[in-house]
Amino acid sequence: MQFGASMLEFSILAYQEGINPPVTKPNPGFLIDIGEEGMRNLLDRFYMKLFESPIKELFPKDRDAMKKAGQFSADFFIQICGGIPYFNQTRGAPQMRGRHAPFRITPTARLHWLVLFEEALEPIVQNKSSSDENIQSFWNYINVFSQWMINTQEA
């Protein structure tokens, strides 16, 4: 996606079965720039998009439960960006592959997830709430992280 003079590259890495590329945590500056409230708003926007998406069957059916799931996710992303370890304090160690194992996550589901995350990031980009470098670092993280979550091949 191109945003005016922005140098952001929201490309999606091609998935290769059996290959899990190394994950680099996002720049802590992303969280510093948008703050905890900004991260929570980002994940709320994202989860409300997921709630209406083609992959909604992977998520809670109840809107309030979905909002709560979004806040658990915000806890994770706050922690992974160098903030307070809320996720560890409330849910234990992330172990995200294990937590996602009960859900059939395909390469196509990953693509939907990433497209919706890109849409949820738009206000941060448009309002220049963070630097291009920090936003790109966050995108690069979720791009690779999402590959690790795939646990089912297409039918």
Where in the chain are the domains?
Answer: 28-149
CA gap 98, 67 in Å, rounded: 22
Listed in sequence order, the residues at least 6 apart from 15 whose beta carbon sits closer than 8 Å to its beta carbon are 107, 110, 147, 150
Fold of 28-149: Globin-like (1.10.490)
Q: What is the DSSP letter of 95?
A: -
Query: In 21-106, which residue ranges form alpha helices assigned H by DSSP?
Result: 28-51, 63-80, 86-91, 96-100
pLDDT of residue 2: 42
Within 8 A by CB and 6+ apart from 27, the residues are 81, 133, 134, 137, 138
Q: What is the pLDDT of residues 93-131, one digit of tens each?
A: 776 777 787 889 999 999 999 999 999 999 999 999 999
pLDDT category of residue 142 using cuts at 50, 70 and 90? very high
Length of the chain: 155
* pTM to 2 decimal places: 0.91
Residue 112's Cβ-count burial label (10 Å; 0-12, 13-18, 19+) is middle
How does pLDDT run across 32-85, given as a tens digit for each residue? 999 999 999 999 999 999 999 999 999 999 999 999 999 999 999 999 999 999
